Amino acid sequence: MARSFSVALVFASGACWTVPNPRGSDCAQDGRCPEGLVCFPDWRCWPPGSQPTCDPPCYGAEPFCDETRLRCIGCRTDADCASGSICAPNVQHCRPGCSAEHPDCPAPFTCDLARGVCAGCRLDSDCASGAEPRCDADRGRCMPCLPQRGGCPAGSVCVTSGDGYACAPGCLTAAECAPSGPGQEIACCGGRCVDLYTSAEHCGGCGNPCRDNDSCCEGVCFDLTRSPTHCGACGNSCYLPNVTGVACSSSKCSNQGCQQYFGDCDRSLETNGCEVNLSFSADNCASCGYRCTGGAPHRPALCVLLGCTVGPCESGWGDCDGQSGNGCETPLTTSSNCGSCGVPCAGSQQCVGGRCQ
């Protein structure tokens, strides 16, 4: 049968004695140790004069061993800390600050010994950079803006960004937003500048959202897949001049053609609809391409209620000989036919604009 021994023999002054377990006994309860041992700060019993160290070894954020208390610590002196920080004596960890023994501060800051902090500014005038015009005196840093003192352009507010502040899109009141332009109504909704004419979350007013898949067009919510006034996109109306049976399906317009007495004579129905009134178009009378003929000088042919006819004399002309074949042959601006056939001007009067003067 194997046996193990936990003791070793050493010689001292000609005699031998047993060395206790190196980790010692636990003396946390009453501070008492076996005879010949002393209770150390790690609450272990060690021989007098021993120099135990931290177990397990110190590393990471606590790389140093406090050998008086046998515990791992972050720093022993200010020199153990990085620039801009010093060793807090109570907890022995690095904290922001600086001291006469350790005045190092990261650029562009310098050590304010009276306050024990790294400071870069006290007043806005200390901030020379146009991009960072505000001084955060509490931290001694120049910032692009400060929440209580502004510094952001219209349409943006000062928000926390990392360990400082930055301008971000937003607002507190509508006055902080850019003014409304043509076809816009800008308002401040939930800290953001929005256009009530186009915002699906605030359509026509703050807090008025459109349903899922709907869009905001001119401040009103529409389903672009089936709205004939906004088909496929805001402002894309299916209502063209003189068409009938207008509809929108799957974001595409459709119609049933021209209304009665109207024609699509230029074959551009989807662009300008049925542009011709067939009841009164001399070039397209009753149907596209049918042109009225039979007119005479200063007496054109007309289309009236889908039929061709000869029209009256043009303004300033008269049929003074009663012969329709030669049209309206007489100008009504002469002293012998002033304004009407057979109306002469007396004496030295002249015909001006169809009147004797």
**Is the pLDDT reported for residue 289 higher than 90?**
yes
**Is the pLDDT reported for residue 15 higher than 50?**
no
What pLDDT does residue 6 have? 34
Give tens-digit pLDDT for 222-234.
999 999 999 999 9
Compute the distance between CA of residue 202 and CA of residue 211 in angstroms, rounded to an integer: 11
**Is the pLDDT reported for residue 87 higher than 90?**
yes
What pLDDT does residue 129 have? 67
**Is the pLDDT reported for residue 92 higher than 50?**
yes
What pLDDT does residue 1 have? 37
> Which two tokens mark 290?
């049918």
Instruction: Please state the rounded mean pLDDT for residues 252-279.
Output: 95
φ/ψ of 65, rounded to 5, equals -105, 125
108 pLDDT band, cuts 50/70/90, is low
What pLDDT does residue 349 have? 93
What pLDDT does residue 41 have? 79
Instruction: Please state the rounded mean pLDDT for residues 34-48.
Output: 84
Q: Which distant-in-sequence residues (6+ apart) come within 8 Å of 346 by Cβ?
A: 356
What pLDDT does residue 9 have? 33
Instruction: Please state the rounded mean pLDDT for residues 14-34.
Output: 63
Listed range (37-46, 157-166, 301-310) with the worst mean pLDDT: 37-46
Compute the distance between CA of residue 350 and CA of residue 352 in angstroms, rounded to an integer: 6
More confidently predicted of 190 and 305: 305
Mean pLDDT for the chain overall: 86
Helices assigned H by DSSP within the chain: 269-272
Instruction: Please state the rounded mean pLDDT for residues 19-33.
Output: 69
Q: pTM for this one?
A: 0.48
C-alpha dist (Å) from residue 109 to 118, 125, 142: 6, 16, 10
Burial of 288 (0-12, 13-18, 19+ CB in 10 A): middle
> Which two tokens mark 221?
């919510």
Contact (CB, 8 A) for 262 and 274:
yes
Contact (CB, 8 A) for 333 and 342:
no
Contact (CB, 8 A) for 255 and 263:
no
C-alpha dist (Å) from residue 258 to 226, 255, 280: 21, 9, 16
- Stated as kind and residue range, the H or E segment containing 283 is none
Nearest residue to 133 (alpha-carbon basis) of 173, 175, 123, 39:
123
**Is the pLDDT reported for residue 247 higher than 60?**
yes
